[in-house]
Amino acid sequence: MSCLAIGLALSLHAGLENKYNQRHPYLMCEHERVIAGVYYNSLDTWSMVGGYKYRITDDLSLDVGVVTGYEYDVVPMVRLRYKNLFVMPALEDDRTGLVVGFQFEYKIKEK
């Protein structure tokens, strides 16, 4: 089976004042615990992401890594995921908030 998946994540930015993009098409590859991919981020630019997936249960996982495309060249990333739901911390100036969302994913199978 291929490691590739194509998807769309829909997000809500809670506790933040700015208006952010809420639709995030993406292409990801997950092999064992390593994840890597690209997605259209909340700032309407493309980001690259790389990290590790820590599986807590069959349905619950924690992704930890780094991502590009935000205020700094590279920033840390952490995302808690339960099935297709996710939550992650967000920073905006001196405010902290949460990004919560739902993602639809199609795994690309090798022929």
Residue written as token pair 């807590």: 56
Residue whose C-alpha is closest to residue 97's, from 12, 1, 21? 12
Q: What is the pLDDT of residues 18-75, one digit of tens each?
A: 889 999 999 999 999 999 999 999 999 999 999 999 999 999 999 999 999 998 899 9
Of residues 104 and 1, which shows the higher confidence score?
104
Q: Taking the model in full, what pTM does it have?
A: 0.89
Within 8 A by CB and 6+ apart from 32, the residues are none
pLDDT at 90: 92
Within 8 A by CB and 6+ apart from 71, the residues are none
Task: State the burial class of residue 49 (Cβ atoms within 10 Å of its Cβ: 0-12, 13-18, 19+).
Answer: buried
